[in-house]
Structure 1
Amino acid sequence: MIEAVIFDFGGVLTTSPFEAFARFEAERGFPVDIIRNTNAANHLENAWAKFERAEIDIDTFDRLFAEESRALGGAEVRGREVLPLLSGDLRPEMVEALKRISGRFKTGCITNNLPANAIGSRSGRSLYVAEVMVLFNHVIESAKVGLRKPDPRIYQMMVEALGVDPKHCIYLDDLGVNLKPARAMGMTTIKVTSGRQAIAELEATTGMKLG
């Protein structure tokens, strides 16, 4: 029996930033996937992880990311130049699915995000995102709690806040590394590759018509 559906935000309710990374790398002549590979290397303690836990400021992130990318991929990518690439577009079909799900199940959002104003002001988009965020019963942001996925503690915080058994939860994320702890807790997991695919799997697991 499903009691709650828990969502990642970027790459699930919005389009993935990976396409923007690829365009940026091609335009600058950087090695293919240098940004993703830098993010993935030492993923619990690298510059990206520390910034998402709000342990370092933007200047330190900019410097450390450049050092890590140079050591790993042989090209220096400044952290400040990566940040504007993160904002994907909301997927209207996923927002509609969330609205329908929130009418029947408890809903949560666990997002690895950045400290406030790290990317700069996007007031119009922020208002739209705020309208989406109110659909959740509970939201956990890494930069506010000092933990980030895939730390198992952040998933435990969510199930405790929602008052649900993880075995009765569905968790959606676009990164396999973030799905593993949820699956280990007993959650049903969905790896999101597109809005259409995610909705089809949600329909199969919830028994609801979402499309």
Structure 2
Amino acid sequence: MVKGLIFDYGGTLDTGGRHWGKVLWQAYVESSSGVSEGDFREAYVYAERTLGCTLVIQPDYTFYRTLDAKLAIELGWLEASGRIGRSGSGLDSLRRAMLDRLYDEVKRQTERSRYALEQLKPRYPMALVSNFYGNIGVVLDEFGLGGLFDHVVESAVVGIRKPDPRIFTLGVEALGLEPDEVVVVGDSYGNDIVPAKRAGCHAVWLKGEGWTDETHDETLPDAVITDLSQLGLNVLHDNMSK
């Protein structure tokens, strides 16, 4: 019997299943940046690695400021490597335009996610388990999501990152439940679905636009959805027989 839920944050609640790399690339295209997709992908990986190993993001950073920092690192790398034909004020204008476009999109999606979570909140205790930078509490409050979660497990705080299944075990323990009483909902097959199942949980895959075209075994998750609004009782109970 399902007694509790664990949600991922990035790519699940803020983009509706789209990988952040795809979301950012769309902003580069729509802003006529002149950057090739291959160069963008290199910049994206560089920025992710930089943010993962340095304290760029501070505990009081909002998502707006976090996203601005990420874009600044990407664009700085593109400029330094000669991959973009802008500099100075032209580069600053491009960053601001992309930032505002992306932030508006995230606000719209998190509002949709908030509505879906509000429908589930009266029936289930909920935890958030996320690879994040130490400021997830500020971000959740920024988008009106903070009060919906009974517990938050953040990688930068607990020192464990997905795909290590132990981070989901921490979420289960925070809820005071057994693993087979918990459903994990996330967009990343490798970071959410596989480790959640290894931790003994049920898993619902929010399948969206991935970073690559790689296909996955869709028999591993207990259910596959394309929108959080599909998390009804039939998904959370009828499919949890594996």
Q: Does the alignment reach a TM-score above 0.5?
A: yes
Of 131-140 and 21-30, the range deviating more from structure 2: 21-30
Q: Tell me the TM-score normalized by structure 1.
A: 0.67
Distance 2:9 2:204 in 1: 13
Query: Secondary structure of 2:152's match?
Result: strand
Check 1:36–1:158 CA distance in 2 against 1; reply closer, same or farther (3 A cut).
Answer: farther
Contact 2:116 2:228 in 1 (8 A): no
| Cα-to-partner distance string for 1:10-52 (whole Å, 9 max, x where unaligned) | 2222224432323315633333265557667xxxxx7625634
Query: Secondary structure of 1:28's match?
Result: coil
Distance 1:37 1:153 in 2: 30
Question: Which of 184, 187, 198 is the matching residue for 2:201?
Answer: 187
Distance 1:92 1:177 in 2: 26
- Aligned pairs, number: 189
Within the alignment, does 1:205 sit opposite 2:219 as a pair?
no
Q: How does 1:31-46 map to 2 (within 5 A)?
A: 31-32=36-37, 35=40
Question: Which of 54, 57, 62 is the matching residue for 2:55?
Answer: 57
Distance 2:202 2:43 in 1: 29
Question: Which of 129, 137, 162 is the matching residue for 1:149?
Answer: 162
Check 1:116–1:128 CA distance in 2 against 1; reply closer, same or farther (3 A cut).
Answer: closer
Query: Which structure has the larger Rg over C-alpha atoms?
Result: 2
Distance 1:51 1:206 in 2: 35
Q: How does 1:2-41 map to 2 (within 5 A)?
A: 2-15=2-15, 16=18, 17=20, 18-24=22-28, 27-32=32-37, 35=40
| Cα-to-partner distance string for 1:84-135 (whole Å, 9 max, x where unaligned) | 5875233434312212222111201112223549xxxxx9x86442x31211
Check 1:94–1:33 CA distance in 2 against 1; reply closer, same or farther (3 A cut).
Answer: farther
Distance 1:174 1:33 in 2: 23
Unaligned runs of 5+ in 2: 58-69, 85-91, 209-224
Check 1:98–1:157 CA distance in 2 against 1; reply closer, same or farther (3 A cut).
Answer: same
Of 99-108 and 198-207, the range deviating more from structure 2: 198-207
Check 1:36–1:104 CA distance in 2 against 1; reply closer, same or farther (3 A cut).
Answer: farther
Contact 2:114 2:145 in 1 (8 A): yes
Q: Give, in angstroms, the shift of residue 158 of structure 1.
A: 1.0
Residue 106 of structure 1 aligns with which residue?
125
Unaligned runs of 5+ in 1: 41-45, 118-122
**Identity within the alignment, %:** 24
Within the alignment, does 1:94 sit opposite 2:92 as a pair?
no
Q: Give, in angstroms, the shift of residue 196 of structure 1.
A: 5.9
Root mean square deviation of aligned Cα: 4.2
